[in-house]
């Protein structure tokens, strides 16, 4: 093993770890988008939200305005749930409010 290789190897590994963290963050973002759309549809229909729809440490907020039910899910981005990346992932979805009038 040469000295150049010994110096380059940690840099290559660091780049690989950062790339994998980015892929994981994008995958979790897609899960949040899907979950936000599902929750918005369920809330708009007046149904209960099943326990498995919102996973992890995601926070949920809803807003009803102009006949729309909007849902926002957000959570801190992390690598394997342990190391925080320093930014939040967020997804917002809206659905037409179809709940029966009281």
Give residue 11's domain range.
Answer: 3-96
Q: Which pLDDT does position 81 carry in this prediction?
A: 65
Residue 59 counted as domain residue: yes
Give me the half-sphere count of Cα atoms (radius 13 Å) on the Cβ side of residue 95.
Answer: 18
Residue 101 counted as domain residue: no
Of 91 and 79, the structure prediction assigns the larger pLDDT to 91
Closest residue by Cα to residue 94 from 51, 48, 62, 55: 62
pTM, entire model: 0.81
Q: What is the average per-residue pLDDT within 88-102?
A: 89
pLDDT digits (tens, 9 = 90+) for 4-32: 888 899 999 999 988 888 898 899 999 99
d(CA 28, CA 35): 10
Residue 33 counted as domain residue: yes
Residue pair 95/41 in contact (Cβ under 8 Å)? The answer is yes
Q: Which pLDDT does position 52 carry in this prediction?
A: 82
pLDDT digits (tens, 9 = 90+) for 51-82: 888 877 889 999 998 889 999 999 988 877 67
Residue 102 counted as domain residue: no
How many distinct structural domains can be found in the chain? 1
């Amino acid at each position: 093993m040469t000295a150049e290789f010994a110096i380059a190897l940690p840099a290559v590994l660091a780049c690989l770890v950062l790339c994998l963290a980015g892929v994981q963050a994008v995958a979790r973002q897609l899960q949040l988008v899907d979950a936000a759309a599902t929750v918005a549809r369920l809330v708009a229909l007046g149904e209960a939200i099943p326990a498995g729809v919102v996973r992890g440490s995601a926070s949920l907020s809803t807003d009803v305005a102009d006949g729309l039910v909007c849902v926002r899910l957000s959570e801190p981005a992390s690598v394997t749930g342990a190391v925080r990346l320093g930014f939040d992932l967020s997804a917002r979805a809206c659905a037409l409010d179809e709940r029966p009038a009281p």
